[in-house]
Structure 1
Amino acid sequence: MGLCGSLYNSHTLDRSEISTLRRFYESGHLKLLSIYFKRILTHDSDILNAFSGIIRAHSRVLGKFHWGLPLNLFASALLATYLTPHYLTRQPGFPSWSWLG
């Protein structure tokens, strides 16, 4: 579990499973997230609702999410949060460690 930062999985993921999840996360999920950051929302508080359809679809592969981060790749996802555009402003009501905040 330490390799992927999983917080909820009842079994240890092997290297092959981790690699598959990371490829999907990096090539699919993060690309969509970068496109999403360019959107202008009417209300900043809608940030999670606006992306929830993608999270719901990607949870079939990545598993459960917490504050927009996949739990099976939680450590990697935390690191990727630092890649969010610097022009985004802090969003109250969301944790600062998530891209939502």
Structure 2
Amino acid sequence: MLTMYKWFFMSFFFSGLFSFFSKKKHLLSTLFSLEFMVLSVFFYMFVFLIFNYYDLYFLIYFLTFSVCEGALGLSILVSMIRSHGSDYFIMFNMLQC
């Protein structure tokens, strides 16, 4: 039963990874795909910990760090939009930053 869930959530993870590598036009779409990958890892860990009767305290720490990572990504996105005008990767010049 656990192997079925493992393949199910890993397919979600790899679909998020595929969208991360294929959507290179906008920064927001790459942030969405990263958050999708974090959620798939979270659900996989949840199912793993439930089936093995472990404590779920680690999931609270994982969610805390993933929320902080998402807030940091959005703040960087807002600052880049304010400084460059859009979230296209073509607009960014690394020599300017």
Q: Which has the larger radius of gyration?
A: 2
* Fold in common (TM above 0.5): no
* TM-score computed with the length of structure 2 as normaliser: 0.31
* TM-score computed with the length of structure 1 as normaliser: 0.30
